Each structure stands twice: as C-alpha cells, then as structure tokens.
Structure 1
Amino acid sequence: MASKISGGAVLRAAARIIVLLFFLFPIFWVFLMSFQTNQQILRIPPSIFFTPTLENYTALFSGRLQTASGSLDIAFIKNLLNSIILSSCSVLIALILGVPAAYAFARFKFRLGENIAFTLLSFRFAPPLLVLVPLVAYFQMIGLSDTYIGLIWVYQLICLPLILWIVRGYFEDISPDIEHAYRVDGHSWAKTFFKIAIPLARPGIAAAALLSFIFAWNNFVFALILASADKQPVTVGALAFVTSAGIQYGIIAAAIVLSVTPTLLLALYAQRYLVEGLSLGAVKG
C-alpha cells in the first residue's frame, strides 16, 4: 500500500512539474531573448547558452534604437507611463462608480434592475470595433480625441462592467443581517456602506480591481484608434519595433519583460486579497 501511495505521489508531482514547465517555459524563453541580439535569437538551432547583453534594455531606456538602416527614436518609457496612467485612473474611476452600483444591485430590488445590470455587462463582451466608429466621430466633435480623459472614459467599457458584476456577487454573499444590526443602532445607509459593507467585501473589491487593471493594461484596439503616439500605451507602442530593417525580437522581448513587471508586482502585492476574493462565495452553506 505504501509503495502504491508513493508511486501515485511521484506521478502527481511529475505531472505538476510538466504542467509548470509547459506554462513557464515561454516566459523563461522571452526573458532569455531580452538579453540576446537578433543574430543570437535567429540562429539555428537555438541555444540557451549565449553571451548576455544589455543593449535591448539600454535602447528602451535611452529611446534610441540602432538598426541596420540607422538609428530610430522609440518612446517606450513614455508608453509605459501612459499605460500606468490610463490603467490606474480607469480602475480608480471604475471603483468609485462601480462599487456603489454593485452594492445597489445586490441590496435593492427595483424594476428593470437585472436588465440594466446585464446591459452594462454586455458592453464588456461587445466587439471593440462595434463602438469605435461612432466614438471616433463623437470624440472629434467634443474635443476628446487623442486625450487621456477620452481614453480613460472609453476604458470604462472594460473596467466598469467587470467590477460591477464581480463585486455585486461578493456583496450578495455577505449576510444583510450584519448591516441591519448596524442600522438598528441609528447609523445611516452611507455609514453602513463605508463602515460595514466595503470592509467585508474588501477581498472581492481587490480581486476585481486587479483583474480590471490587467484587462485595461492589455487593451490594444482603443488606444490604437483613439490616440496618437504621445498618448499610446505599451501595447500599441511595441509596434515601433517592427521596422523596415526587420523585426527587433530582442527589443520586443525586453519590452515584454518591462511591461509585465508592474502587473506582476501588483499581483504579488495583492496576492492575499486575490486568493480570498476569488474563493469568496465558492462554498455555499
């Protein structure tokens, strides 16, 4: 029996290692590519043994890319700051608007409430091109074309529905009796919301905010159409690395490493809240 249990444990451990390697190897390979030149990357057969170089990272931070046809100006650091500004502000506004709305949908039943909630959710699943054409015309009319405010407004189509529906589920899992007991003591709805509801739903709010930040960070189409190079995030700015001299794979790999770092650090910082938030409500009693 012991040998059977031991054999099963070994097989499970081997399966976990294989799955882990399968998912982590592409990330590891991109990390290695960021320290290689194009010649090293494109050699056949590929090899993990090479002389590392910091040329790719130097080019990103200096803003000058040397190609076979000459030097090229790149604005990756500006694009990175744009991504931080757009994603952070979009999530902040979505939290300010979405958390109270999620609480209202969870606690109060009103006519057409479910229809309104589903309509907001449908914006998240609608193809971006469906709204881009009229948005371009409207933004040009009201002066929001190629502005941070305009992009942050459009990013609410990504963040607001996600936060609204995720946080609503967490508020519904919290017993309303706790809030009723606090209300009996003479406290207002607003004070009950800020002192009781939000602290109890904090893990779910953190998880929804993190997921919204990642989705906003990875958005490509909205910024590509509605913003110029000065306002574009890293997802669009990476197009500059496809030059007439060829695709700069090493620069692209270094840009991926740097662009993934903020979301990775944020996920590690909010890991406890993320785990609690995603597991909240998983077990019903």
Structure 2
Amino acid sequence: MQHMSTGERVLRGILIALALIFFLFPIFWIVLMSFQTNAQILRIPPSLFFSPTLENYTSLITGQLKTASGVLTLNFMQNLFNSFILSTASVALSLVLAVPAAYAFARYKFRFSEDIAFTLLSFKFAPPLLVLLPLTIYFQKIGLANTYFGLIWVYQLITLPLILWIVRGYFEDISPDIEHAYRIAGHSWAKTFFKISIPLARPGIAAAALLSFIFAWNNFVFALVLASADKQPVTVGALAFVTASGIQYGQIAAAAVISITPTLALALFAQRYLVEGLSLGAVKG
C-alpha cells in the first residue's frame, strides 16, 4: 500500500478543511444570526462580535413577536409539533406499506413488476404542482382538506417511493438461500419474513426511514396548499416572520436552528445505520 508524502497529507488536510468550511459556514452563520437583533444582522459590514440575545428564541417559544407595528402572535411551536406528527406518521405508514412491497419486488418477478416499481418511483420526482390542483378539489369533496390524515396520505408521495426503492435494493443483496434454509426447517413465510429478512435488512430500512423523515420534514408545497395555519409544519409557518413592518431575520434564523435540530439529532443517532444501509444497499453482487 502506497503511503502519502508529507506534502500530500498537508494538501489533503487543506482540501478537507476548505470543504468543511464551505458546507458548515452557512450553518454557523445562521446560528450566529439567531442570537442577534435585526439591527445587528443588517449592519454593514457584518461582524462576528456582538452582544448575544435570547429574544428570538423567547419570541418563538412564547408565541409573541414584537414588531414595529405591535405584537404579532406566532404559532411556531404548534408548527413544530405538526412537523413531528406529519413526518413521523408518514414514515411509519410508508414502512408498513413499502417494506413488504420492496420484498415482493426483490424476491418475486412478475409481469410488469419493473414498470410498476418505476411508476411508484416516478411519483417521487413528479412536480408537486402536477397533483395539487386535483388533490385540493378531491380533498374538499371528501372532507380531508386541512386534516392530519389528508396530509399524511399526500406525504406518501414523498416517503413511500424512497423507502420502497432503497429497501428493495437491500433485499436484493440478501442471499435467498438463508431464507430457504429457514423455510426448510418448517417455518412459515410470514415468520421467515419477520425473523430473517427484516432483521438482515434493518440497516437499509433505518437508512430509508431516516432519509424519508428528512424529506417529509422539509416539505413545503403540499402543506402550504392543503392545510391552514393550525395544521401547517415549520417550513410553512416560517412565512409568518415576513410581516408588514419587515422581515424578522433573527426569528427566521432561530426558527431554522430549532427546526433542523430534530433531524440533525436523528441523523447523528442513526449515522451508523445510514452509512451501512446506503453503502451495502448500493453494492450489487
């Protein structure tokens, strides 16, 4: 194995440092903005030295935003709760539906199986505006407009295809001989699926669930059109910071920090499963 010279190691370190600065500096700047007032944020030139304030976070938690035109009532904490409910329920429902379907696509070849799988995947890449108009009309007629159930149903267009395709690739990498040996021992198909197939595919399932949760958490268009303020997630609730008296940059920054914290914590917690699931699921024997 060829060892790198000192110059190559230094160059590699510099390149890694530049990449980290490029990707992490916007997050660092958002965090700094969340502890500043609007006047401090908008001053020219900007400065890294300022007197920090917790007013932005206090406004979000209490729901009272002080502006030049008065006190504005916010629903940010409700929006945060909505994001948690919508994302968690959407991923949970997608796992129930997509994992057995992914196993079927991986193990059984039937007529039009590839066409059906590709059609399901195409839902993920279809423009949301393509389905929003008919969905709005149908939801109003059947009473699903502005409901958690209706939004969770629509979120399946985001989460279900992603879980289906990632988990399918992972099932395809698992040798069928392991399952056959378990079946020969006298166990049923259902027991084989739950005792053998799912445990072996657990890293891939965890990776797919994490990615789907992030996509669902970051969704904006569906909730903007199909829900009112009491059901909208944080991505839509952030529009409340654009007021007649101006844009509340500090509150927007604080809201961004709070809203990315759950997904960041989840990603760090499930990092091992994410790396293992995506790497093994991408290798074809």
For Structure 1 versus Structure 2, the TM-score category normalised by the shorter chain is over 0.9
Query: Higher mean Cα deviation, 263-272 or 85-94?
Result: 263-272
Q: Are 1:94 and 2:75 an aligned pair?
A: no
Match of 2:85 in 1: 85
Q: State the SS of the aligned residue for 2:133.
A: helix
Q: Read off the aligned partner of 2:233 and give its amino acid letter.
A: P
Match of 1:153 in 2: 153
1:3-30: CA deviation from partner (whole Å, max 9, x where unpaired): x810111011011001101110000000
TM-score (norm 2): 0.98
Match of 2:183 in 1: 183
Per-residue deviation at 1:276? 0.6
Q: State the SS of the aligned residue for 2:61.
A: helix
Distance 2:33 2:166 in 1: 37
Q: State the SS of the aligned residue for 2:72.
A: strand
Per-residue deviation at 1:284? 4.7
Q: Read off the aligned partner of 1:226 and give its amino acid letter.
A: L
Provide closer, same or farther for how the CA distance between residues 135 and 204 of structure 1 changes in structure 2, counting only shifts above 3 A: same
1:66-111: CA deviation from partner (whole Å, max 9, x where unpaired): 0011110000000000000000000000000000000000001111
Q: Are 1:61 and 2:61 an aligned pair?
A: yes
Q: Are 1:142 and 2:149 an aligned pair?
A: no
Q: State the SS of the aligned residue for 1:52.
A: coil
Structure 2: stretches of 5+ with no match in the other structure: none
Structure 1 residue ranges, 4+ long, deviating more than 3 angstroms after superposition: 281-285
Percent identical pairs in the alignment equals 78
Match of 1:115 in 2: 115
User: Given that residues 204 and 281 in structure 2 are in contact (C-alpha distance below 8 angstroms), is that contact kept between their aligned partners in structure 1?
Assistant: no
Distance 1:54 1:185 in 2: 63
TM-score (norm 1): 0.98
Q: Read off the aligned partner of 1:86 and give its amino acid letter.
A: L
1:170-220: CA deviation from partner (whole Å, max 9, x where unpaired): 000000000000000111111010000000000000000000000000000
Distance 1:284 1:151 in 2: 36
Match of 2:22 in 1: 22
User: Given that residues 206 and 274 in structure 2 are in contact (C-alpha distance below 8 angstroms), is that contact kept between their aligned partners in structure 1?
Assistant: yes
Spell out the pairing of 1:152-171 with structure 2 (5 A cutoff): 152-171=152-171
Distance 1:157 1:57 in 2: 33
Match of 1:9 in 2: 9
Match of 2:244 in 1: 244
Distance 1:283 1:162 in 2: 17
Match of 1:103 in 2: 103
Distance 2:283 2:216 in 1: 30
1:135-156: CA deviation from partner (whole Å, max 9, x where unpaired): 0010011100000000000000
Distance 1:162 1:278 in 2: 12
Q: State the SS of the aligned residue for 1:280.
A: helix
Distance 1:125 1:284 in 2: 24
Distance 2:174 2:60 in 1: 47
Distance 1:262 1:8 in 2: 38
Spell out the pairing of 1:38-77 with structure 2 (5 A cutoff): 38-77=38-77
Q: Are 1:201 and 2:201 an aligned pair?
A: yes
Q: Read off the aligned partner of 1:184 and give its amino acid letter.
A: I
Distance 1:282 1:82 in 2: 33
Q: Read off the aligned partner of 2:83 and give its amino acid letter.
A: S
User: Given that residues 229 and 237 in structure 2 are in contact (C-alpha distance below 8 angstroms), is that contact kept between their aligned partners in structure 1?
Assistant: yes
1:104-146: CA deviation from partner (whole Å, max 9, x where unpaired): 0000111111111111111111100000000001001110000
Structure 1: stretches of 5+ with no match in the other structure: none
Spell out the pairing of 1:29-40 with structure 2 (5 A cutoff): 29-40=29-40
Q: State the SS of the aligned residue for 2:177.
A: helix
Distance 2:186 2:130 in 1: 49
Q: Read off the aligned partner of 2:53 and give its amino acid letter.
A: T
Q: Read off the aligned partner of 2:129 and give its amino acid letter.
A: L
Q: State the SS of the aligned residue for 1:66.
A: strand
Distance 1:232 1:154 in 2: 13
Per-residue deviation at 1:278? 1.1
Per-residue deviation at 1:169? 0.2
Match of 1:273 in 2: 273
Per-residue deviation at 1:283? 4.4
Distance 1:281 1:196 in 2: 17
